[in-house]
Structure 1
Amino acid sequence: MLFIFASILSLIISGVVAQNLTITINGTASHPIPTTMYGWMWEDINHNTPQASRRVEMVVCTRNVRNSYYTERQWSKLFRAVLQNRAFQQVTPKTSAALYAWSSFGATTLTVVDKSVTPSLSTALPNSLQVQVAPNASGQIGVSNSGYFGINVNPAWTYTGSFYYKVPAGTKAKGQFLAALRSSSGAVLASKSITLNPSATSWTQVTFNFKPIATPADNNNVFTLTVDGASTAGQTIFFSMFSLFPPTFKNRPNGMRIDLAEALQATKPGFFRFPGGNNLGQSIAGRWNWRNTVGPLINRPGRLGDWTYINTDGLGLKEYLDFLEDVGMPSIMAIWAGYSFGGTVPENQMAQYIQEASDQINFVIGDPAKSAAAALRASLGHPAPYPLVAVEVGNEDFFASDTYSAYRWPDIVGNLSAQFPSVQFMATTNVGSPVLKPKPKLYDVHVYQTPTWFAQNSFIYDSFPRDGTKYFEVGLDPTNGEFAAISTNPNDLFGAPSDGRLLWPTVAGTVGEAAFMTGLERNADIVFAASYAPLLQHINGDQWTPDLISFDAKNVYKSTSYYMQQMFSLNKGDEYLPSTLPSKTGTVFWSVTRRIATKEVLIKISNTGSASSSLTFKLPFNTVSKTGSATVLSGAQNASNTPTAPNTVVPKSSSFTAAKTFTYNVPGFSVHVLSVVAS
């Protein structure tokens, strides 16, 4: 008999048979839910092409945003830029790699050259494109750019472009430039003629716009800039800083890709962490320096990022801040803290970097009358300060915790906290190890794990001390603000998909993350923010998987985890209501919050097992609506939303019968948000 009972208990725990659970809810809130509870972390874009090809322009990027904006950074992440390697930044002249994404159109020879061949457009952009026209050229000839894995051509859009050019003195070139978008078959989809000035012996900028006249069959389209071969035969023309943008989010110059920005906005995020974890700097000289990311694009030199591709920094500090303001999410901003993979700054050289960080913060929140950096912000059209939640000092400094604890943290925070007494500074070493002085008020915690780990560790913050320190959960690693179920193989979390690493978020991973997040809400008295990571991924660049949102040149693909994160974020509530606790070893997890203004009780449930569960809720309120609403995300354990099947698992809404005591059935592998009005 004992054996039979033990066997049944084992089956219940493993999720093979249904569970019946009774949950009593307390009507007195134990703590508020921070408005910053759920948001996004930006890192940079990931890409598996040769180094010279990784150019970031702005489409929405990150290890959490891989490849998603547009700014023609040479990589495309959150902006809406179309052209890749637009300014030949950080490439080696006279090499084939320097021409990544560019090719000859007709009888021309292309070479990336430096200022030894012709004076550069600016000191920040030392390279330019030399186009030599063949002596016997005829017809339209010039250059072609393949974009970021193709170009989305939409007849409803007006595209805005520009480029710089010049010709050698005494040139005989004449006629018209033809800027165009062409299909893979060569058909002209959009075009604009621009007069070539044979007297333009110094750099001359040309701007143009055009609207496509046809819809191509696919995204295998290119941008071309051509001239009449007969009119320019044997001549040389130099080009620099090309640009082409479709409409952007909120019509911002250098702005974000609309569909990706709208996908983020639809979650009503409480914060945005930027400018990017490890992408703060591969080397001391190549660190993310805010000064090099503001002002005219021709003054932004770009740099080699930590993930081995070039950042053009077209997505600069102000572009970040404007985007955050447009979406309505305050920032958690990182400052470089004297450490890169390429070395650590000695203590006696830290002063200049502390000043750099001070100026960066002043650019965001400073008084233009008191700070040159803040005055620069005002001159760029934003005199008022931007919202700032916290400043993160470095990134993953557990890699160099000795210098972080010895002088980098105390020197940086000691100086900056005196200058900015209202700013909270966040540490990035392991929590409590080493001991930091001054004691951090905030810690950034990173977790990347298996679906099972997340469910099993939903109580991890329950044991953290309540000593005034608060935590930003990333990825899913209780120490730095990022979290995501990334693999089914606990022994090789960062291996390839063939080793168990997930290519796309799965339902099993999503419900595991949801289980963990119920624990974050239960501990929202000390967990003030949480972010899934990675955020964005181009489907042709899957160095880090799985990502919350995937995309190509035309489409956005929302994962199962995206929908779950959206469900939690839109229904986080204002305060946490204690209830009967889930079993730490069970498969069903829940949290209860309340939205004060609407008197809604919000119950979030995650079933991480295969068996359904019957949950009986006991509400402590005198009046309870007879009907509640339910948003449900469920599917097969290994189901994913993919480019070929993007809507395999999507949330569905329904109603349920509510009362002071009501029973609700929770199928296996599902996430639920229940809303019922009660007072």
Structure 2
Amino acid sequence: MNLTSPNGSWGYVLGVLLLLGCAQATPLSDRPQNHAYVVDVAKPIAPIQPTMYGIFFEDINFAADGGLYAEMIKNRSFEFDTPLMGWLQPASDPFSMNEKSGFASAIKRSEEVANAHFLRVTVKADTGYRLTNTGFRGMGIQERMQYNLTLMARQPEGNTKLHVELIDTTGQVLGKATLTPSGSAWKEYSAQIVATGTAMKGRFSMRFEGKGVVDLDMVSLFPENTWKNRPKGMRADLVQLLADLDPGFLRFPGGCIVEGRTLARRYQWKKTVGDITGREVLINRWNTEFQHRPTPDYFQSFGLGFFEYFQLAEDMGAEPLPILSCGIACQFNTGELVPMDELDPYVQDALDLIEFANGPTSSVWGKVRADMGHPEPFHLNYIGIGNEQWGPEYIARYQVFEKAIKSQYPEMILVSGSGPFPDGEMFDYGWEQLKQMGAEIVDEHYYRSPSWFLENADRYDRYDRNGPKVFAGEYAAQSVAIASPDNKNNWECALAEAAFMTGLERNAEVVHLSSYAPLFAHVDGWQWTPDLIWFNNLESYGTPNYYVQKLFATNRGTAVLPLTEGGKPVTGQQGLYATAAKDAATGELVLKIVNSTATPQELNFQFKGVARLAKEGTLTVLQSDDLEAVNGFAASRNIRPTEQPLSTSGKRLALTAAPYSLSVVRVAAPGLK
């Protein structure tokens, strides 16, 4: 995610934003065209990497806590900078019966940073005192669903019961259970609550009965229905949307979140593994980044940590791609640098991460993985050094990482970065240096207008085939301007991205990985738009951009083939963009065609190098006549793929590309390998 220009000039950015805000799509033809295309099956250009289309995850827009991580209690261990943030006491709780019935205070029990506080509740009346947790912009409660509560408690004084309840916005109880803490030693207590109603913005309530003192910690509530039904796991509907993309890789944990505004607040993977009670809570670097969406209550519990990311990648059959700090804080914020002679701990973090992922259980970090329930290695092959840093400081630090990692793990593939922009002085400098160093993969980022994506569909046609490979690591068309809160996931943006993606695939010899960004956004807690998947506390939907990604990823093929008109690749002539591939696993040919014009286009394909085609194939179309159209909860599949049969004739097929459409053709070719 990038926020300003390489030299920090907001004047420069303002000019860029104005240009992007005013940019329009390239002129569209208003006359039907008839096109004759040739696909040469016998002359594959390059293999399409299994990692060509993947997933970029960053904890922005409440993507982790309040999103993918299914924990419903906000500030469960009272470790936020304001220890009672998220918890309402009687004076401010409209559901309290008596504001003089008791009080709660956070107690600091340790100088250790992780889980240093607990909550002491003093109940002064036999009934009436309660605490209420607001959740993450409320709690999604679904009728007949089971919710599992766990908490740590002890009772130094008195005899007090805890009536735990799910309630809606009116205070109506939608499910309840009772716990009876006893003794002065900490114990874990649990209860199951079955909801009797549904609420989009419910709450969790603890009502105390009987005078006394109760100490509480790690108050946690999860739905029973998590991904793969793992206790304290991930939200099932959100993971399913990811799995449906058939991703080739999962990049985590970000983005700028890797760097931190300062080095002290960077993402440190070692603090995100092991028992969740020992994971250090950190304020999210996106909490007040944008004036239009301040979220001072945005913290990271790290219940979704590196172990869980690796496990998620494994679940989806995706390559894990962790990105680590290179010793430079976000250059759009402080740009703080660790001195070169103090870089060793950062490098050691990278080496230890490889051991955590791949090492034997007899190794220090391999044992940590095994103790968490995964003795088998995670088979890590890629690791990213830095997010989108730039300049000589980055190059110097990257060289240190490269030397250290390659000396111990020569087979590890390293991902470097070219900075936050797809062009300019720092971009050119980074590429020049990395190419001279023989870097393996260079990460490029672009947040630009739809017209930019249309005009750059041939971007990688000009890249050196013998140089570093490309990771199109963050991209999304901006309907208004970079970081504008008014950006929309409309069809114009999605269609432009589809056109650009034909260029990624056609240049599979150079481009080995790509991913849209950002991934998730909570409708009540977002900071950045546009985003691939939107959700509230109960529902989720894929944007038109999501369906573009899904169609490309689930129809990637194994090798790219020449597809030409008049001997030239199809890169926007008359508003058309196209790529062809073969899928050796299924014996099919795959075409992807984007019509960015307002009129239908007649397309005729001739296939060379095959004896014949199967008599019938399939045509999948994603289309809308309205470039401003978006998906939503009420019309969650307003723009969605439709499939129909497609007839062929010998070695030819004909189809009409609908206006403003992405079309995907799959047709078998007997004997294709």
TM-score for both structures, normalised by structure 2: 0.86
Residue aligning to 2:191: 208
What residue identity is the alignment partner of 1:322?
Q
Q: Which residue of 1 aligns with 2:664?
A: 673
1:381 aligns with 2:358: no
What is residue 62 of structure 1 aligned with on the other side?
none
Residue 106 of structure 1: how far off its partner (Å)? 3.7
Identify the residue that residue 602 of structure 1 maps to in structure 2.
590
> Matches of 1:662 and 1:353 in 2, distance apart?
56
348, 356, 360: which one aligns with 1:363: 356
CA separation of 1:649 and 1:103: change in aligned 2, threshold 3 A: farther
In structure 2, the partner of 1:576 is: 560
Give the number of aligned pairs. 605
Which position in structure 1 is the counterpart of 2:538?
554
Instruction: Report deviation, 1:259.
Output: 0.4
Across the aligned residues of Structure 1 and Structure 2, the Cα RMSD in angstroms comes to: 2.1
Shift of residue 92 of structure 1?
3.6
Q: Which residue among 40, 55, 71 is the counterpart of 2:55?
A: 40
**Structure 1 position 381, deviation (Å):** 1.9
Whether the 8 Å contact between 2:137 and 2:525 is mirrored in structure 1 is no
Q: Which runs of 5+ in 1 are unaligned?
A: 1-10, 47-66, 70-74, 474-480
From 457, 482, 486, give the equivalent of 1:493.
482
- Counting only pairs closer than 5 Å after superposition, residues 95-134 of structure 1 correspond to structure 2 as 98-104=84-90, 105-107=96-98, 108=101, 110-115=103-108, 119=109, 123-133=113-123
Q: Quickly say closer, same or farther: Cα 1:414–1:453, change in 2 above 3 A.
A: same
Percent identity among equivalent residues?
A: 30
- 1:31 maps to 46
- The equivalent of 1:58 in structure 2 is none
Matched ranges for 1:62-461 at <5 A: 67-69=62-64, 75-93=65-83, 98-104=84-90, 105-107=96-98, 108=101, 110-115=103-108, 119=109, 123-133=113-123, 135=124, 137-168=125-156, 171-172=157-158, 174-197=159-182, 199-200=183-184, 202-212=185-195, 214-216=196-198, 218-228=199-209, 231-232=210-211, 235-246=212-223, 247-280=225-258, 281-308=260-287, 309-341=298-330, 342=334, 343-369=336-362, 371-398=363-390, 401-405=391-395, 407-430=396-419, 433-434=429-430, 435-436=433-434, 438-461=437-460
Match of 1:6 in 2: none
Distance 1:584 1:632 in 2: 19
State the secondary structure of the residue aligned to 1:318: helix
SS at match of 1:208: strand
* Correspondence for 1:56: none
Single out whichever of 269-278 and 157-166 deviates more from structure 2: 157-166
Question: 2:471 corresponds to which residue?
Answer: 472
Separation in structure 1 between the aligned mates of residue 571 and residue 328 of structure 2, nearest angstrom: 42
| Secondary structure, aligned partner of 2:141 | coil
Correspondent of 1:631 among 620, 623, 636: 620
What is the letter of the counterpart of residue 590 of structure 2?
L
Asked if the contact 2:138/2:203 (under 8 Å) is kept, the reply is yes
Amino acid at match of 2:542: K
Question: What residue is the counterpart of 2:32 in the other structure?
Answer: 18
Letter in 1 for 2:52: M
Q: 1:112 to 1:633 in 2, by over 3 A?
A: farther
**C-alpha displacement of 1:112:** 4.7
Q: Distance in 1 between matches of 2:230 and 2:571?
A: 49
Task: Please state how far the C-alpha of 1:175 moved relative to its aligned partner.
Answer: 3.9
Structure 1 residue 585: deviation in Å?
5.0
Aligned in 2, Cα 1:282/1:106: closer, same or farther, shift over 3 Å? farther
Whether 2:631 is the aligned partner of 1:641: answer yes
Structure 1 CA distance, aligned partners of 2:26 and 2:365?
A: 61
Deviations along 1:551-585, whole A, 9 cap, x unmatched?
A: 00110111111111111111111111111011445
Distance 1:243 1:89 in 2: 14
Could you tell me which amino acid in structure 2 is paired with residue 336 of structure 1? S
Q: Kindly tell me: are residues 293 and 626 of structure 1, through their superposed partners in 2, closer, same or farther at Cα, counting changes over 3 Å?
A: same
* Deviates most, 360-369 or 261-270: 360-369
State the shift of 1:121 in Å.
11
Structure 2 distance, partners of 1:103, 1:39, is 44
What is the CA–CA distance in structure 2 between the aligned matches of 1:12 and 1:307, rounded to whole Å? 34
Question: Would you say the 8 A contact 1:534–1:547 is kept in 2?
Answer: yes
Deviation (angstroms), 1:122:
6.6
Structure 2 SS opposite 1:658:
strand
- What SS does the aligned partner of 1:514 have? helix
1:522 to 494, 506, 509: 506
Distance in structure 2 (CA, Å) of the matches to 1:87 and 1:150: 18
SS of equivalent residue, structure 2 residue 312:
helix
Following the alignment from structure 1 to structure 2, what is the Cα–Cα distance between the partners of residues 410 and 328? 31
Partner of residue 511, structure 1: 495
8 Å contact kept, 1:103–1:145:
no
1:254–1:319: 8 Å Cα contact kept in structure 2?
no
What is the identity, as a one-letter code, of the residue corresponding to 2:48? I
Code of the residue aligned with 2:242 in structure 1: it is L
Query: Shift in Å at residue 26 of structure 1?
Result: 0.5
Partner SS state of residue 140, structure 2:
coil
Equivalent in the alignment of 1:533: 517
Deviation at 1:185, TM superposition (A): 2.7
Cα distance in 1 for residues equivalent to 2:135 and 2:384:
34
- Residue 243 of structure 1 and its aligned partner are, at CA, apart by 0.5
Whole-angstrom CA distance in 1 between matches of 2:128 and 2:548: 51
1-structure distance, mates of 2:392, 2:232 = 40
Shift of residue 13, structure 1, vs aligned partner: 6.0
Structure-1-length-normalised TM-score: 0.85
How many angstroms does 1:140 deviate by? 4.7
- 1:120-171 Cα deviation digits (max 9, x unpaired): 59751122333333x4x35353211121222222344322111122344xx2
What one-letter code is carried by the residue in structure 2 that aligns with 1:465? D
